[in-house]
Structure 1
Amino acid sequence: MGTHELESKIRELRQLQALIEEATAEAEAIKDTIKAAMGDAEELQAGEYKITWKAVKSSRLDAAALKKALPDVAERFTQITTTRRFCVA
């Protein structure tokens, strides 16, 4: 792929990313409107649609606290991974 074609693809990618960001922001605004209409309700029926908005509990390991309290244990169970990050500037 030549430089001109690559530059064109990058321009197209940035335009699509801008559209995605705009659509995502619009979708979030709509979700916020629906949540406001729901108030404290966890479930709502709107015609054919059933909307739920429930609290979900999750537990996560506090890696920083583990490293501080038991650094040797944290080091033994730490896995190093390598990934490639794609960025267009």
Structure 2
Amino acid sequence: MGERAIENRIRKLKVLEEQKKELEAQINALQEEIKKDMETKGVEEMQAGIFIIRFTSVLSSRFDTKKFKEQYGSLYSQFTKQTASRRFTIS
């Protein structure tokens, strides 16, 4: 593939990434409107036509690796491993 072809693909990629950002912003705005309406109505579940919408509270437990590393640094290092990956960037 020639340099010109790669440059054209990068330009197209940049346009699509921008469109993706715009679509994600629209999606988030619509979700927030629906959530706000549900909070106003005081419901966690509602039906709208064929759709059932749920906006529920969820509790989860997460392991605090930062705190564990601070308190048990040597133990932490015994159970960590390095991984290799490749990163694709365009600037």
**TM-score of the superposed pair, with normalisation by structure 2:** 0.92
Q: C-alpha offsets along residues 44-71 of structure 1, whole Å, 9 cap, x if unaligned?
A: 1111110001112222211111111111
Gaps of 5+ in 2: none
Secondary structure (helix, strand or coil) at the match of 2:56 reads coil
Q: In structure 2, what is the equivalent of residue 56 of structure 1?
A: 58
Letter in 1 for 2:47: Q
Moved over 4 A (4+): none
C-alpha separation in 2, matches of 1:55 and 1:73: 34
- After superposition, the CA RMSD in angstroms is 1.0
Aligned residues with identical type, % of pairs: 35
Of 81, 84, 89 in structure 1, the residue corresponding to residue 83 of structure 2 is 81
Q: Structure 2 CA distance, aligned partners of 1:81 and 1:59?
A: 25
Gaps of 5+ in 1: none
If asked which structure has higher relative contact order (CA below 8 Å, sep 6+), I would say 1
**Number of paired residues?**
89
